[in-house]
Amino acid sequence: MAGRTKAAATSEKTTVEADVKIENSNENVIKKSTIEPFSPEKKVTVRSIADWDTGFKRIESIGDVQIPANGSVRLAASEIIAQVQNGNTLFRGSNGDGSHATLYIDDKATRIEADFETENTVQKFITNELVKDLFKKSKKDFKEGLRDLVITRAERYSIINIIRKEKLFNDYEKVRAVEDYTGLRV
């Protein structure tokens, strides 16, 4: 095991499969789609939801990683796993399981290897779709959903940007609730 990281040594055979059911009027077909296995050498896109530059010191090589505001960077999967295993809260989020993280790993096999997801669960991370779904809820459910979805400073700025980008201004009370909760103005 000399010269290899713990992530590379323990994760050479991670494979993820998902069942996809396709229904036709005449027949039901179950098709297996396979997510490619985890590869430590693979370059993976990491996206930032922060409205400011973020960065961290590399573990597996020399140098630093700088990610621009709301930008992305490609990193080796082994570097990502090393960051997660060393407690980088940008990846691990507020509770250590990847929920409410500032950086999102844009590769399912790597998220599974980092224990942020399983084959049946997904990482809790703010997205345009989740915010749109939140705005479709009743006012009571909206306020509860808002408290569950937005916890960190990066998420507060992100939901404001998503509201602007997706033009979710049609419900004044919900927009005001977001402004009051985040302390930011749309």
Whether residue 116 sits in one domain with residue 149:
no
Give the tens place of pLDDT for each residue, 85-117: 999 999 999 888 899 999 999 999 999 999 998
pLDDT confidence band for 12 (50 / 70 / 90): very low
Check whether residue 71 and residue 28 sit in a common domain: yes
Indicate if 105 and 158 belong to the same structural domain: no
Q: Residues 1, 73: one domain?
A: yes
Find the domain containing 31 and state its range: 1-121
Point out the domain boundary residue: 121, 138, 161: 121
Count the Cβ atoms, other than its own, within 10 Å of residue 113.
25
Whether the per-residue pLDDT at 16 is higher than 60: the answer is: no
pLDDT: which is higher, 121 or 83: 83
> Region 150-162: what's the mean pLDDT?
95
Nearest Cα to 48, choosing from 65, 61, 64, 36? 65
Assess whether 164 and 115 both reside in one domain. Answer: no
Residue 29 confidence (pLDDT) above 80: no
Domain boundary among 105, 121, 137: 121
Kindly state whether residues 93 and 110 are assigned to the same domain: yes
Residue where one domain finishes, among candidates 84, 105, 121: 121
pTM: 0.76
> With bands split at pLDDT 50, 70 and 90, how would you rate the model's confidence at 54?
very high
Alpha helix segments (H runs only) across 100-183 = 108-113, 128-135, 139-149, 153-166, 172-182
The total number of structural domains that make up the chain: 2
Q: Same domain, yes or no, for 71 and 163?
A: no
Residues 145 and 38: their CA atoms lie apart, in Å, by 33
